[in-house]
Structure 1
Amino acid sequence: MKQWLRKWRLMSVFAVLALALSGCGKPYLSALDPAGEVAQKQYHLMILSTSIMVIVIAVVVVIYVTALIRFRRKKGKEDYIPKQVEGNHVLEIIWTVIPIVLLVILAIPVIAATFNLGDTKAMDKKDKNGHSKVLVVNVRAHLYWWEFEYPDQGIITSQTLVMPEDQKVYFNVKAADVKHAFWIPAIGGKIDANVDNVNKFWLEVDSDKAKEANNLFYGKCAELCGPSHGLMDFKVKTMSKEDFASWVDEMKADTNPAPTTALAKDGENIFKQSCASCHAVTPNDKRPESARLAPNLATFGERERVAGILDHNKENLKKWIKDPQAYKPGNKMPAFKDQLSDQDLDALADYLMGLKVENR
């Protein structure tokens, strides 16, 4: 008995701890702190469905406890049989109608939100130059990195999605290899990234919420896609419409990043020999989609992580280049530990860390 009581107390402690931890979260990553119209609607639907479930559970528990106490076997009345209610038309109607009403209450806003969030007709409207009248981003998921293409602006980025605030941004989402899922918890989602078709949807970031998160959010792959699925993250940087327009101009103007040191110049030559067949270093890369086999490195020097997981410094960059599988198992980048000397790695790292576009 004492042992059972001890286990029960331990389970209670874990239950309370789990409940407390469920309320923890950061504004840049938590779906429970919505930062946009889509996330807000999804949050309201979660609250509605959870409230309905809690009410149903509470009613069932009350009925169960009432029956347990009121109709328990009592001494001297072992053979007593309570009044039977099977066939009672009123009760049958009540417990048939109530679930239907609850389902209708839940179904109407869910269906309305589904059609609203799936409305991408604005993407089909073109201007006289054949460009969309709205901002469109093509998202392509790879093992294990993300590519973001702004087709009407002629810009390609990797691992960092830049979005203007207080404006709908429309997405074409697909996968290059296996099934993935595109999800920015605080802004909205998720949506599947498939190999055989393109899924479309839109998101919008609230500027006030973006300020609370320092204009930085994080996205994730929400579909188990391989051994490094948990490491397949990306950064979402938000800015005002004016700053976004300036960012576009800066990215479009960056055509030939020049090394700033002699060591970086050597690194550029090594890059052209060993890396340029897969990686690009300009955001306006003109290669077709099929030739973009690895992340665009145009803004590599501005990133906060190497390969999305390591602290952004030269030592970690060299470790990654030497043996990528040690950090992201299953990724498609080859190891260069036998092809490049330490001097080559120093030069290559110096060149890559100098690849910057913004505020150049």
Structure 2
Amino acid sequence: MKRLAKWRLVSLFALVSLILSACSGQPHLSTLQPAGEVAQKQYDLMVLSTVIMLAVMAVVAVIFVVVLVKFRRKDDKIPKQVEGNHALEIIWTVIPILLILIISVPTVVSIFKFADVDAMERKNEDGTVDATVVNVRASLYWWEFEYPNEGIVTSQELVVPTDEKVYFNLIASDVKHSFWIPAVGGKMDNNTENVNKFWLEFDSEHVDPNELFQGRCAELCGPSHALMDFKAKALPRAEYDQWVSDMKNVEEAEVATTDLAQQGQEIFNQSCIGCHAVTPSNGTPAEARLAPNLTNFGERSIIAGYLENNEENLKDWLKDPETFKPGNKMTDTYGKLTPEQLDALTAYLMGLKVQD
């Protein structure tokens, strides 16, 4: 009995752990809190499937109990042998087909709806596109976001307008990745050979200006796969247009304003500029971009995809990138900076801002 009690306790803790494993303290990280049309439809389909499965389980359980009680053996007589019942066979064949249709029809309709990207292919006479388009390139272990219509490039923090469709071209530089913003919709693979296309919509009703959406790589891609995160900032159209304008006029942000930052800029130009860019449109082909674009680094909320953006974390990252992101490409380059160089480079990077 003691052993049985222990197993019951272990089973209880295992069940609680399984339930709590889906919980998270981070905002906008749950598919159960949809914040856009795609996510809402996916949530509705999930609820529909769950309700149908629970209903089937309940009906089967009731039938099982009824049969168990009503037809339990009362004596040693052998009951009448029945080889089949055509009516019952038809019923338990037709009902599953109907249930599958109830699930599959709205699912297939939604798939075709979300795959409709004609708007991003429709060009005006001057070659421009009215839709908001973002080229998402995934690399080990960071994200690049290129806005072809606006002519700007940024990294690690996706900025999009609210209440309108945002179209994405997805591709990878090295291995297969997968683009996913749980609260908004997805996920879809970033392949190395072909470009996948889809759209998302960020609902302003669910946007908190103080909280960014969490983005993830949903395809195992290497030792730092779990750390390959990004943020998504959804802005009203007017604020988004202002952000685009500020990014286009970024030249003023490139100049260091203090003596310490100027020293950091010299260090950056001697060692970092070979991989990183500090202008949103540096002319480098997408395939040749080796590291995240740092144009507005000082305004971003994260470092290396998941660390809070502050001077302490930045210095720790520059001193030893491998500790924070195993297998990253900065490991062989950094880690040899003196404390003075760290202070200077940190001052320069934290000053890279395009908005007041």
TM-score by length of 2: 0.94
2:59 match: 59
Please tell me the residue identity of whatever aligns with 2:185. G
CA–CA separation in structure 1 for the residues paired with 2:80 and 2:47: 39
Matched, 1:158 2:130: no
1:44 match: 44
Q: Deviations over 1:245-279 (max 9, x none)?
A: 11110000102511011011011011011000100
Residues 326 and 239 of structure 1, relative CA distance in 2, 3 Å threshold: same
Q: CA deviation at 1:7?
A: 1.6
Taking the TM superposition and a 5 Å limit, the aligned residue runs for 1:327-346 are: 327-336=324-333, 339-346=336-343
1:297 match: 294
2:304 match: 307
CA RMSD, 1 decimal: 2.0
Q: CA deviation at 1:12?
A: 3.6
CA–CA separation in structure 2 for the residues paired with 1:45 and 1:140: 29
Select which of 215, 218, 235 maps to 2:214: 218
Taking the TM superposition and a 5 Å limit, the aligned residue runs for 1:126-275 are: 126-211=123-208, 214=210, 216-256=212-252, 257-275=254-272
Range with greater deviation from structure 2 (272-281 or 318-327): 318-327
Please tell me the residue identity of whatever aligns with 1:181. S
Please say if residues 276 and 291 of structure 2, whose CA atoms lie closer than 8 Å, have aligned partners that are also in contact.
yes
Please tell me the residue identity of whatever aligns with 2:286. E
Query: Any unmatched runs of 5+ in structure 1?
Result: none
CA–CA separation in structure 2 for the residues paired with 1:189 and 1:338: 37
CA–CA separation in structure 2 for the residues paired with 1:343 and 1:184: 39
Please tell me the residue identity of whatever aligns with 1:184. I
Q: CA deviation at 1:67?
A: 2.9
Select which of 339, 344, 347 maps to 1:347: 344
Residues 95 and 328 of structure 1, relative CA distance in 2, 3 Å threshold: same
Q: CA deviation at 1:215?
A: 5.3
Residues 152 and 345 of structure 1, relative CA distance in 2, 3 Å threshold: same
CA–CA separation in structure 1 for the residues paired with 2:22 and 2:306: 24
TM-score by length of 1: 0.93
Query: Any unmatched runs of 5+ in structure 2?
Result: none
CA–CA separation in structure 1 for the residues paired with 2:250 and 2:320: 30
Q: CA deviation at 1:91?
A: 0.6
Tell me the SS of whatever aligns to 1:279.
coil
How many residues align? The count is 355
CA–CA separation in structure 1 for the residues paired with 2:62 and 2:102: 23
Matched, 1:110 2:107: yes
CA–CA separation in structure 2 for the residues paired with 1:86 and 1:22: 47
Please say if residues 320 and 335 of structure 2, whose CA atoms lie closer than 8 Å, have aligned partners that are also in contact.
no
CA–CA separation in structure 1 for the residues paired with 2:163 and 2:286: 30
Please say if residues 171 and 194 of structure 2, whose CA atoms lie closer than 8 Å, have aligned partners that are also in contact.
yes
Q: CA deviation at 1:344?
A: 1.6
Residues 27 and 343 of structure 1, relative CA distance in 2, 3 Å threshold: closer
CA–CA separation in structure 2 for the residues paired with 1:66 and 1:6: 33
Tell me the SS of whatever aligns to 1:351.
helix
Q: CA deviation at 1:29?
A: 1.3
Please tell me the residue identity of whatever aligns with 1:210. V
Residues 63 and 144 of structure 1, relative CA distance in 2, 3 Å threshold: same
Please tell me the residue identity of whatever aligns with 1:252. K
Q: Deviations over 1:21-66 (max 9, x none)?
A: 6576655111101000000000001001111111111122222233
Tell me the SS of whatever aligns to 1:308.
coil
Please tell me the residue identity of whatever aligns with 2:213. F
Tell me the SS of whatever aligns to 1:147.
strand
2:318 match: 321
Tell me the SS of whatever aligns to 1:255.
helix
Residues 349 and 80 of structure 1, relative CA distance in 2, 3 Å threshold: farther
CA–CA separation in structure 1 for the residues paired with 2:240 and 2:82: 68
CA–CA separation in structure 1 for the residues paired with 2:160 and 2:80: 66
2:68 match: 68
CA–CA separation in structure 1 for the residues paired with 2:236 and 2:140: 31
Please say if residues 321 and 335 of structure 1, whose CA atoms lie closer than 8 Å, have aligned partners that are also in contact.
no
CA–CA separation in structure 2 for the residues paired with 1:191 and 1:88: 47
Please say if residues 38 and 201 of structure 2, whose CA atoms lie closer than 8 Å, have aligned partners that are also in contact.
yes
Tell me the SS of whatever aligns to 1:224.
coil
